[in-house]
Amino acid sequence: MKREEKTWTYKRTLSRIGIPKTRQPDLAFLRHLQNRHLLSVPFENLDISLGQPIRLSLPAMYNKVVNRKRGGFYYELNALFNWLLRECGFSTSLISARVRKPDGGYNPEFDHLALLVHLDKTYLVDVGFGDSCREPLPLDGTEVEDISGRYRVMAVGKTSGQYALQKETKDHWLTEYQFTTIPRELHQFASMCEYHQTSPESTFTQKTMCTIATSTGRITLTREHLTVTKNGYQQKVPIVSEQ
């Protein structure tokens, strides 16, 4: 791409999430970018349900999210957001995360793609994990609370180099996924991206859903229900037909 094309593309991407122009690449602007993205771009797996292949290609992701005003799942959303952050002057790394399974184990490496943003300290940033933290999370255990809950990132052991994204429940902290700080390249996620689109064991082939954050909670649509969460209260309406 020529530089002028990149500049135009990055401005349209900002416009897609309701931001008129870039600012100083600091923590305040990072928070604003993350929040606006979550309020503007849904997490969804509709292409998988429709049998339309998802490619780890930034032009394809840009066309889907910006031109067609669609959403996507984490490989798409976090990869495109990573590109946007770099265009805005941030220093970032793609990282691999392993999502916790119901039995307490963890999925393989490259199961999830998230971001590290390097400012005064390093922050975990994720705009592709559905109902999760809306704020950048430092890796030092600082607790961060937003409308979706209270979160923290903790080191796993003293020498393992592993970290855990955790969410507070009624009686304990529940790990959502584990990760290392090793920088990754987008192509390294291709095999697991294919797996999540094709394997009958993947959550994304078993369930169709579209969800987006709101200023007061979240709206989620599945084949079975429309669920609206507002200020901690949840209303679930059955879906009675495909139409």
- Of 172, 165, 35, give the one whose Cα is nearest residue 97: 165
Q: Does some domain include residue 43?
A: yes
Q: Is the pLDDT of residue 204 over 60?
A: yes
Q: Residue 26's pLDDT is what?
A: 98
Query: What are the C-alpha distances in Å from 94 to residues 14, 113, 114, 162?
Result: 20, 7, 6, 15
170 within a domain of the structure (yes/no):
yes
pLDDT for the residue 5: 45
Task: Flag whether 67 is in a domain.
Answer: yes
221 is a domain residue: yes
59 occurs within a structural domain = yes
Domain of residue 158, CATH code: 3.30.2140.20
Closest CA to 127 of 62, 203, 39: 39
**Given the structure tokens 């996924």, which residue do they identify?**
177
Question: In this structure, are residues 27 and 136 in contact, taking their beta carbons and an 8 Å threshold?
Answer: yes
Distance (Å, whole) CA 165 – CA 98:
10
Question: Element (H or E) spanning 78, and its range?
Answer: helix 74-87
- Mean pLDDT over the full length of the chain: 93
Residue 10 domain-assigned (yes or no): yes
Predicted pLDDT of residue 241: 84
User: Does a structural domain hold residue 243?
Assistant: no
Report the pLDDT value the prediction gives residue 8, as an integer from 0 to 100.
54
Is it the case that residue 24 has pLDDT exceeding 70? yes
Reported as a pLDDT band with limits 50, 70 and 90, residue 38 is very high
Work out how many domains the chain is built from and give that number: 1
Q: Is residue 164, in this structure, part of any structural domain at all?
A: yes
Bin 46: left if φ > 0, else alpha if -120 < ψ < 50, else beta.
Answer: alpha
pLDDT confidence band for 9 (50 / 70 / 90) = confident
Residue 4 has pLDDT above 60, yes or no: no
The two three-digit tokens of residue 208, written as one number: 């169709």
**Which H helix or E strand runs over 214?**
strand 209-214
Domain limits at 131?
3-238
Q: Is the pLDDT of residue 243 over 80?
A: no
Which residue in this structure is represented by tokens 């009624």? 170
Using DSSP, state whether 19 is helix, strand or coil. Answer: coil
